[in-house]
Amino acid sequence: MIVLISEDLMMSSTVSAAVRAEGGTFRFVASVERANVKLEGNNCELLLVDLQAKDLDWDALAELVARVPRAVAYAQHVNVDLLRRGRELAFESVLTRGQLHAGIAEVVTGAAE
């Protein structure tokens, strides 16, 4: 299962299409709290996190990232502070939104390997 924490329906659609193309399962949630609920009893191969998500609980996010095998964060390139803060956590990578959008198939495929 691949979980996306975001409020962005367009990115949700992009990720969902890439996950479906790989035959995977996708869940879209708006908060770390909802992600924790979705992960109960489920195997999460990849956690994607929109660092611009409203009211992001950074402490809970750090705990969640530590529990999953792969975690990738992203934000718009102009949000330098959020990108820097994301790099302080144990994410596999922190990308700009454009980088994620352009490489979503590779990010998702890496979760299926």
Is the model's pTM score more than 0.75?
A: yes
pLDDT at 112: 45
Nearest-angstrom CA–CA distance, 23 and 90: 27
* Overall number of domains in the chain: 1
Cβ-based neighbours of 57, under 8 Å, separated by 6 or more: 31, 32, 33
Q: Which domain holds residue 38?
A: 2-112
Q: Count how many residues are written for the chain.
A: 113
Q: Are 11 and 39 in contact (CB under 8 A)?
A: no
For 37-96, the pLDDT digits (tens) are: 999 888 899 999 999 999 899 999 999 999 999 999 999 999 999 999 999 998 999 999
pLDDT at 64: 95
Nearest-angstrom CA–CA distance, 78 and 67: 29
pLDDT at 75: 96
CATH of the domain at 76: 3.40.50.2300
For 35-53, the pLDDT digits (tens) are: 999 998 888 999 999 999 9
For 92-113, the pLDDT digits (tens) are: 999 999 999 999 999 998 854 4
